[in-house]
């Protein structure tokens, strides 16, 4: 096993909700440290809460840890503690080796100065000597793809260009530990891919911690995934379990009725898989039957129905819809059913949306978004988070 680079044991950090209290506590704490009065961090004072609560883990060279969780769960706070920007109130963090961090890209860029000048300043802030920066300068500019703009003031840069320059500088550090906080999202697709590939390349010498809401990226690049919710860390050796836990935090919020009124409403909808499986469960390659009854305004004689399947990122990945004229409106009630077979969705959890349109697919009469769940089961494993699994016929054509 490779060496442990990060060892976090029992780390907690508290913050104060109220800025006046916070100012007062700050003065008190700092006065305490001047006088040598040991602080008593164990208790919460008025208005304080644990932003990070008793977190422990260790990370080895070669590990890539994805830190996920809802907003305000303490992810960035934990990252800042790993970087030594803020100190834990309880517990201990041991860091072995040189740390590179991108908590915020463009932090420390001076808007009036050129990209070139900022490379040198930012490099110095990150702990490089002038010689090291000289040596890496061309590579940085190359990686950032900013050759034509390197002598313009960075205030004229776009936010994507900021990210490019910031990541390029940090990428040249060759640190033992790299901390990244949701910064790559701003770059365009090409640059993002370049960054993640670069990260993958660094992994053999580096331990990486990424905070991100981009779960597909986390899923693909991280060998460990921890969920931080309400300051507490949830870990599981199986990253898929942690990711599923993360998504389940948002089940309530993701479901919504986007369109609908008194004349257009849902009576009921049923999703059935094979006869032996539990409700809402369907076998990969088998059949899914959707049965529904909706109330539709009488003026729409032949409404249309669309069933959409969403992945856990709530992106539509598959649809099935009626051809115009198939469904009839009987005194305001429309009954329908559809068999989808073979059901090609990969093993995993999905959300289902129902949309009812007018005759020409022009107007939404009713739209229940991500309101049902189905689970696809089967023998294949869900590889790489792909939505569809083709049961291809493989043959060997050896010599």
Q: Residue 165: which residues within 8 A CB-CB, separation 6 or more?
A: 105, 106, 109, 115, 118, 119, 140, 144, 146, 154, 157
Give the one residue of 29, 58, 188, 251 binding other proteins; rule: CB under 8 A: 29
Q: Which is nearer to other proteins, 38 or 190 (CB)?
A: 38
From the number of C-beta atoms within 10 Å of its C-beta (0-12, 13-18, 19+), residue 66 rates as buried
Give the one residue of 120, 137, 196, 221 binding other proteins; rule: CB under 8 A: 120
Q: Which is nearer to other proteins, 153 or 385 (CB)?
A: 153
CA angle 314, 318, 320 (to 5 degrees): 125
DSSP 189-223: HHHHHHHHHHHHHHTTT-EEEEE-S-HHHHHHH-S
Q: Is 60 in the site for other proteins (CB under 8 A)?
A: no
Contact string 174-213 vs other proteins (x = CB under 8 A): --x-------------------------------------
Which span sits near other proteins by CB under 8 A: 53-61, 117-125, 198-206, 307-315?
A: 117-125
Q: Is the dihedral of CA 215, 219, 221, 222 positive or negative?
A: positive
Please name the helix (run of DSSP H) or strand (run of DSSP E) that holds residue 368, with its range, or none: strand 364-377
Which span sits near other proteins by CB under 8 A: 32-40, 271-279, 343-351, 376-384?
A: 32-40
- Residues in contact with other proteins, total (CB under 8 A)? 51
Neighbours of 122 (CB within 10 A): 22
Alpha-carbon separation of residue 200 from 26, 204, 223 (angstroms): 41, 8, 11
Distance CA 140, CA 228 (A): 33
Q: For 45, which DSSP code?
A: P
Omega into 4 within 30° of 0, i.e. cis?
no
Question: What residues are paired with 71 via a beta bridge?
Answer: none
Alpha-carbon separation of residue 147 from 115, 174, 383 (angstroms): 10, 22, 39
Distance CA 185, CA 217 (A): 11
Q: Is 1 in the site for other proteins (CB under 8 A)?
A: no
Q: Is 147 in the site for other proteins (CB under 8 A)?
A: no
Give the one residue of 50, 60, 70, 121 binding other proteins; rule: CB under 8 A: 121
Give the one residue of 47, 95, 137, 332 binding other proteins; rule: CB under 8 A: 95
Q: Is 92 in the site for other proteins (CB under 8 A)?
A: yes
Q: Is 229 in the site for other proteins (CB under 8 A)?
A: no
Q: Residue 203: which residues within 8 A CB-CB, separation 6 or more?
A: 62, 64
Q: Which is nearer to other proteins, 77 or 382 (CB)?
A: 77
Q: Is 270 in the site for other proteins (CB under 8 A)?
A: no
Which span sits near other proteins by CB under 8 A: 19-27, 239-247, 319-327, 385-393?
A: 19-27
Give the one residue of 72, 84, 201, 325 binding other proteins; rule: CB under 8 A: 84
Give the one residue of 80, 194, 283, 368 binding other proteins; rule: CB under 8 A: 80
Which span sits near other proteins by CB under 8 A: 83-91, 210-218, 277-285, 296-304?
A: 83-91
Could you list the residues that contact other proteins (CB under 8 A)? 15, 22-23, 26-27, 29-30, 33-34, 36, 38-39, 41, 80-81, 83-99, 101, 103-104, 106-108, 110, 112-113, 117, 120-121, 124-127, 129-130, 176
């Amino acid at each position: 096993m490779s060496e442990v680079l990060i060892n976090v044991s029992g780390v907690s950090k508290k913050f104060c909700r109220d800025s006046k209290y916070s100012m007062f506590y700050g003065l008190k704490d700092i006065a305490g440290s001047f006088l040598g009065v040991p602080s008593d961090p164990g208790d919460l004072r008025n208005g304080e809460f644990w932003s990070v609560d008793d977190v422990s883990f260790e990370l080895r060279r070669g590990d890539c840890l994805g830190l996920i969780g809802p907003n305000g769960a303490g992810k960035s706070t934990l990252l800042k503690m790993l970087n030594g920007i803020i100190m834990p109130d309880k517990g201990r963090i041991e860091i072995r080796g040189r740390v590179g961090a991108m908590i915020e890209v463009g932090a420390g860029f001076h808007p009036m100065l050129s990209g070139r000048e900022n490379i040198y300043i930012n490099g110095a802030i990150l702990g490089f000597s002038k010689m090291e920066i000289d040596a890496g300068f061309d590579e940085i500019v190359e990686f950032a793809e900013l050759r034509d703009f390197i002598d313009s003031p960075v205030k004229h840069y776009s936010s994507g260009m900021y990210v490019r320059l910031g990541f390029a500088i940090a990428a040249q550090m060759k640190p033992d530990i790299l901390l990244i906080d949701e910064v790559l999202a701003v770059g365009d697709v090409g640059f993002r891919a370049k960054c993640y590939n670069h990260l993958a390349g660094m992994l053999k010498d580096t331990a990486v911690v990424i905070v991100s809401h981009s779960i597909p990226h986390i899923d693909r690049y991280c060998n460990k995934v921890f969920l931080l919710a309400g300051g507490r860390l949830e870990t599981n050796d199986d990253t898929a379990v942690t990711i599923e836990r993360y998504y389940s935090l948002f089940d309530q919020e993701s479901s919504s009725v986007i369109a609908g009124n008194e004349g257009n409403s849902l009576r009921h909808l049923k999703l059935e898989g094979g006869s032996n499986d539990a409700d809402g469960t369907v076998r990969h390659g088998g059949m899914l039957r959707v049965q529904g009854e909706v109330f539709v305004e009488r003026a729409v004689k032949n409404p249309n129905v669309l069933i959409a399947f969403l992945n856990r990122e709530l992106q539509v990945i598959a649809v099935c819809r009626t051809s115009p004229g198939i469904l009839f409106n009987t005194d305001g009630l429309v009954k329908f059913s559809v068999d989808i077979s073979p059901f090609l969705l990969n093993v995993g959890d999905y959300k289902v949306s129902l949309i009812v349109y007018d005759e020409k697919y022009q107007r939404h009469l009713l739209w229940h978004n991500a309101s049902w769940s189905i689970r696809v089961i089967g023998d294949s494993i869900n590889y790489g988070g792909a939505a569809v699994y083709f049961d291809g016929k493989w043959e060997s054509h050896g010599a």
